[in-house]
Every structure is written in C-alpha cells, then in structure tokens.
A and B are shown apart, each in its own frame.
Chain A
Amino acid sequence: MLTIILKRAATVVPTLIGVIVVTFLLTRVLPGDPAVYFAGPAATPQSIAEIRKSLGLDQPLPEQFARYVDDLAHGNLGNSLATGRPVLAEITSRLPASAELTLFGLIIAVAIAIPLGILAAVKQGSWIDHTCRIVTTAGVSLPVFFTGLLLVYVFYFRLGWAPAPIGRLDVFFDAPPHVTGFYLIDSLIAGDFELFRAALSQLILPGATLAIFSLAPIARMTRASMLAVLASDYIRTARASGLSSYTVVVTYAFRNAMLPVITTLGMVFSFLLGANVLVEKVFAWPGIGSFAVEALIASDYAPVQGFVLTMAILYVALNLVIDILYGVVDPRVRLEA
C-alpha cells in the first residue's frame, strides 16, 4: 500500500515543477514596474533605480529564478511589498478564513444538493427531476459576485436579517484565541457562544453565495451516480427480496453511489477556492483570495507566487488524499501508478 501511495505521490512532482516555473514566468511578465510603484509619487530615475536594486529586479531573469527556487527550498516565500510582512505569514493567517468560508459553503451545498440529486434520480423524468435540474443550473448560471451583491441587498439592506458584510466578525468582537483558525470552532473551544453566533451569522451570506454556485455539479453527479447504481443487479435483487424502497435507496444505493460524488467534491472545492476571489471582494472577507487579487493588481510578485503555489499544493494534496481514500474505501479501485 505504502509503495502505491508513494508512487502516486511521485506523479505530482512534475506538476509542482511546472507550477513553480509557470508562476514565476507569469508574475514576471505582468505589466507595471513594482520599483516605480514603490518609489511613490514624485520619484526620480535614481530613486527608482535604487528601489529596483533593493528588490533584486536588476538581476537577469535566470538569476532571479534561481534565487526564487533557493528561497522556496528554505521555506521562504518572500515578503509582500504591499504589507511588508512575510508572504508565508500572510498566507497562514488568511488561509483559515478562506478555508472556513469555502468549507462552510461546501457543507451547505452538500446538504442541499445530495438530497436533491437522490430525489431527482429516484423520481427520474418527473417534474421534480426537471425542477431540480432547472434550479441547480440556474444557480451555476449566475456570476458569483452578482449573487453575492443580490443577497446583501435583500437580506442585509432590505430585510436586515443578515449582519453587515464587513468580514469575519462584527467590529466589536475580538477574534477567539487561535487554535484552528476557524472562528466557528475556536469560539466553541473558548466557550463563547455569543462569538460563535456572531461568526456564524457573518458566514451565512457568503457561504450561501458559494453554495448556490456549487449546487449543480454535486446534484448532477449524485443523480447520475444514483441512476447508475439503481439500475444495477444487486439493487434489483435487494428490491426483489422485498426490502423497503427507503432501505434500498439510502442504505444500499446511496452508499455505493457516493464514491464518484466524493471525487466531484474535491473538484468543486478547488473550483470554489477560485470563485472565492470574487466572493471575498464582495463581502470584504479577509481571505487569501482577496489578498491575491490585491497583490496581482499591485504587481506584487511574492504574494501572487505564494498564493498560487499554496493553492496548487492544496489542490494536488487534496486529489492525492481523495485518490488514496478511494482505494481504501473501495478495494475494487486499484491505484494507478
């Protein structure tokens, strides 16, 4: 088993090398001269040159790349020019915010989409099936920032049910002591239920925005996978042996239909991390996505590189874990090296 896992892990190495090279090149062709940006207003050619030198931008490209790889090897992602802090620190402090939001959105989506998918499969071809398809497709057809703004308008501005869209907590709350970085969990650990409620209420709208966007792939895959399973022989046997239709669907069919759904969840998660960029902007969410956009706009290389690299590693790791889990859960699936 271990050798299989290691072999599978080895396949990600070329991908990671590709990611590092592409990231480096992409950030270097960005327009805008960070040296001029940081020289500020009324810069002189000398002051720009000084800053360019201090940033190491006067070196030839291969040398800059060598330096970058060397830094990476030492776990140094560089400093953000805009905030002056190490990129690694920025990312580790912001990642929980994005992860909490994304996971929360994913949980809402799963809670809605899987029952919908099962229902659509069981009642295939009925109006429920069609409605489910239309509703989920409509959700994925709206730009996320538009959905977000609409929710803010209706539930905050018009109805006043949701709190102000100003990030993870109302301003008069202090963050709970850092344990996991997830405010929901940390506030429970600290036993502060008022804080838990405040953090939860901030999460609802952005979470719902992400969930609406991700209903379709999950529901669709659940439905397809359920249909395939429901048509199989063992389900027919189970039905024939007189088991109730509830037991058949939930106990036998659902459990077997889950594997492809789990794979889809992995993809949806990475997809949502990308969509997060826009949602974070709408809800002033202090996550890693909004940080990357700011950096990209400011031609601030290090954070862009760090962000993309983190995301890529997350994604690759996630898929690796899913692949391995897959093999553990279902012995029929052999891991391909």
Chain B
Amino acid sequence: MTDIAANSRTASGVAALLHHARYVIGENSVTGLAFGLFAIILATAMLGPWVVPYDPLASNTAEALKAPSLAHLFGTDQLGRDIFSRVVAATQLDFTIAVSSVVLVFFMGGLAGVAAGFFGGWTDRIIGRIADTIMAFPLFVLAMGIVAALGNTVQNIVLATAIINFPLYARVARAEANVRREAGFVEAARLSGNSEWRILAFHILPNVFPILVVQMSLTMGYAILNAAGLSFIGLGVRPPTPEWGIMVAEGAANIISGEWWIAFFPGAALMLAVFCFNLLGDGLRDIVDPRRRT
C-alpha cells in the first residue's frame, strides 16, 4: 500500500519537477544557454575523438606554429599539431577529470556529511574535524602537495581535486541532513518501524541528493581550473596528452611572441566549459530548490 502511494507520489513529483524545469529554462534564458552549452560539451566529449580533422598527437614540424587558417582552424603548435583537433579531443579528458572528481567527492564528502548530520555525536565531530583540517589548508597548495607526493597522473589529479572539495560537500550535506533528521516525514518513517540506516538511505539521501547535484555542477568548473593550475606549475597531465590546462600553460609562453592562438583557443574552451558548469549550477539550484531562488 505505502509503496504504491510513494511511487505515485514520486511519479507526480518528477512530472512537477520537469514542468518546473521547463518553466525555469523558459523564463531564464541564461540557464537555457547553459543547458545548450552543456549539451554541446557532452556531445564533443563523446564524439570528439572521432570527428577531428587531424590526429591530435601527430606532429608535423613543417607546419609548426602556423596561425589559424582554413586548413587549421585554430592554428598549429610548436610541433605542428592541429590545435582545433587537440582542443576538441581534450574535451573528453577534461570532462572525465571534472566528472570523476565530483563523483568521487560526492561519495566521500556527501555521504560523510549526511552521516554526520544524521547521526550527530562523535560521527559528526570526527567528520567535522577532518573537514576543518582540510579547510585550514590553502586549497590549491594542498592539491599541489598531494599531486607532488603521489605523482602526476590523471587519477591523482582527480583524487587531489576530490580531497580539497571534501569539506564543501561534507558541510552542505551535513546541514541538509541535519535539518531533515527531525522532519515530519522522517519521524513518520521512524514511527512506522524503519531502521535508522533505512531512513538514512531511503528518506534522507534522496532529499539531500538534488542539492549535492547543484554543488557538483558548481565544483566541476573548479575541478578543471584546478587541473589547469597544476599543469601551469608542471604537475599536471603528462604530455603529449591533449588537456586544456596544459595547452594554455604551454602556450602562455608564446603570447608575448605573437603566437596567441596556442593558448587562446584552449583557454577559451576551458573558460566556456567552466562558465557553462557554473551557470548550470545556478540554473539547477533554481530548479531543485525553488525556495532558495534568488
């Protein structure tokens, strides 16, 4: 009985959410733009490597440092590689870094935060202290330290990014879970004999999840910036792998000498992606949490 009721409630909830989403997007053209951009980035990440005109790794020293032209839309770099192809191919890696780091921190920080907020007591105190300790470090420097210590691989960049975002997720999740722990529907579930773990998994988490999704969208941009910063000081992705941050960092030295395109196009792609994730986060917040609409 209750199951059916719950299901129908969820179904109507989804419909209402979709309706609301359509409303928000229709009303707010900036959010609409962000969704459009996101679709393009996603498509590029999935299809990019198959549609690029050149092999993004193939050097052609005879064509090195050529300005943008019809043959090379974004020009070529020091080894004559096609920058357009590299920028497109890099989407996949950057997207992967961003997504996997937020998914990782969602599981680490989000779950820890929910547990802290729900159980309170020692769980709360320990997780709170861990978050405080991480927060006390200058975040970028901590990421640098982790990557320097563990080695500069994509996995470690993802891990470092996840760790520095841990406090943010833990705090948001804790606050949300804490508010709901005494809420009516939780009390109701408790009274109908559900165990605490069951309440946590089926009543609290689903409610906290959307808010964390907003957070994920906002931190995805930061994850990409973080990876780019690491590349700039030489702790990023390994060459010759195309990645926006390292391409900007390597092209930066050429801005003064006039080869602006080497850094500009990956920089523009990077900015566009981060920009899109940020606006998307704002937009998602509007959809998920209409009360907080600002």
Contact = CB atoms under 8 A, between A and B. Distances in A.
Direct contact, A vs B (beta carbon within 8 Å): yes
Given A19-B136, A145-B229, A311-B138, A14 B129 contact: yes
Which bucket holds chain A's interface residue count? 35 or more
B145 A296 contact: yes
Contacts of B233: 277-278, 281, 293, 297
A17 to B, nearest CB: 8
Contacts of A157: 256
B133 A143 contact: no
Contacts of B234: 297
A274 interface: yes
B136 A141 contact: no
Interface string A138-181: 10111111100110010001000000000000000000000000
B30 A134 contact: yes
B110 interface: no
The DSSP consensus for interface residues of chain B is: helix
B119 to A, nearest CB: 19
Given A15-B132, A141-B271, A141-B275, A29 B140 contact: no
A227 B132 CA distance: 30
Contacts of B142: 308
A221 B232 CA distance: 30
Given A15-B129, A281-B233, A146 B263 contact: yes
Nearest to B133: A18
A270 interface: yes
Interface string B228-257: 110011100000000001001100100110
A133 B282 contact: yes
| Residue of B29, B142, B234 with most partner-chain A CB within 10 A | B142
A315 B29 CA distance: 39
A145 B266 CA distance: 14
A316 B136 contact: yes
B138 A18 contact: no
B175 interface: no
Interface in B260-294: 263, 267, 270-272, 274-275, 278-279, 282, 294
A133 B30 contact: yes
A297 B270 CA distance: 26
B209 to A, nearest CB: 22
A270 B137 CA distance: 9
B138 A308 contact: yes
**Interface range, B side:** 35 or more
A150 B255 contact: yes
A223 B294 contact: yes
A275 B271 CA distance: 17
Interface in A259-283: 270-271, 273-275, 277-278, 281
A322 interface: no
B141 interface: yes
Contacts, number: 138
B148 to A, nearest CB: 6
Given A14-B129, A145-B229, A31 B149 contact: yes
Contacts of A30: 145, 148-149
B109 interface: no
Main secondary structure of the interface of A (DSSP, over half): helix
Given A19-B133, A150-B255, A273 B138 contact: yes
A333 B280 CA distance: 33
A136 B165 CA distance: 21
B151 interface: yes
Contacts of A228: 294
B67 to A, nearest CB: 16
B154 interface: no
A30 B147 CA distance: 9
A312 interface: yes
Given A31-B149, A153-B256, A15 B133 contact: yes
Contacts of B30: 130, 133-134
A292 interface: yes
B139 interface: yes
A205 B129 CA distance: 38
Residue among A26, A146, A228, A271 facing the most chain B CB atoms (10 A cut-off): A146
Contacts of A145: 229, 232, 248-249, 252
Given A278-B232, A296-B145, A304-B145, A143 B267 contact: yes
A145 B245 CA distance: 10
A18 B247 CA distance: 36
Given A140-B278, A144-B229, A296-B145, A31 B151 contact: yes
A19 B290 CA distance: 39
Given A143-B248, A316-B136, A274 B255 contact: no
Nearest to A145: B232
A289 to B, nearest CB: 8
Contacts of B140: 274-275, 277-278
A190 interface: no
A267 to B, nearest CB: 9
Contacts of B216: none
Contacts of A285: none
B144 A296 contact: yes
Nearest to A224: B294
A307 interface: yes
Contacts of A201: none
Nearest to B30: A130
A315 B136 CA distance: 6
6 contacts: A30-B148, A140-B274, A146-B248, A308-B142, A311-B138, A312-B136
Given A145-B229, A293-B233, 17 more contacts: A14-B132, A18-B132, A18-B133, A26-B145, A26-B146, A26-B149, A30-B149, A134-B30, A140-B274, A141-B270, A143-B228, A143-B229, A143-B232, A143-B248, A145-B248, A308-B145, A312-B136
